């Protein structure tokens, strides 16, 4: 679950393009189970993290557009407590993601 707030910029020369930036926080869950695990080896945890994203919305029509953005999330401490993530030395569930969205509405 993520909540972000941001700002959409208004460009004077390119009225159909709206760049935006946002920041927020999220609550992330991680679960790892195995039928071969010994008691106490399964992992089921939840942590908070930060989210940053930025991109641009391109209006194709008054009510239709598309957007592309990049999101970075940082969730420290959720991994590495047990299971495969501990064996691999992973400690951060976050990373970088790219998205393309269809926008309907104003």
- pLDDT higher than 70, residue 97: yes
Give CA–CA dist 44/65, Å, rounded.
39
Tokens representing 80 are: 């590495």
Select from 45, 42, 99 the least CA-distant residue to 73.
99
pLDDT of res. 19? 96
Percent of the chain beyond pLDDT 90?
Answer: 48
* Listed residue (67, 73, 82) closest to 28, CA to CA: 73
Alpha-carbon separation of residue 67 from 6, 40, 49, 59, 86 (angstroms): 15, 44, 24, 9, 37
Mean pLDDT of the chain: 86
pLDDT of residue 50: 95
């Amino acid at each position: 679950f993520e909540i972000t707030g941001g700002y959409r910029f208004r460009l004077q020369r390119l009225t159909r393009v709206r760049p935006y930036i946002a920041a927020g926080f999220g609550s992330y869950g991680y679960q790892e189970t195995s039928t071969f695990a010994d008691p106490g080896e399964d992992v089921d945890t939840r942590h908070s993290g930060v989210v940053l994203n930025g991109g641009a919305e391109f209006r194709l029509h008054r009510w239709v557009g598309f957007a592309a953005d990049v999101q970075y999330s940082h969730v420290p401490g959720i991994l590495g407590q047990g299971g495969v993530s501990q064996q691999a030395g992973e400690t951060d569930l976050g990373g970088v993601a790219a998205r393309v969205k269809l926008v309907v509405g104003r």
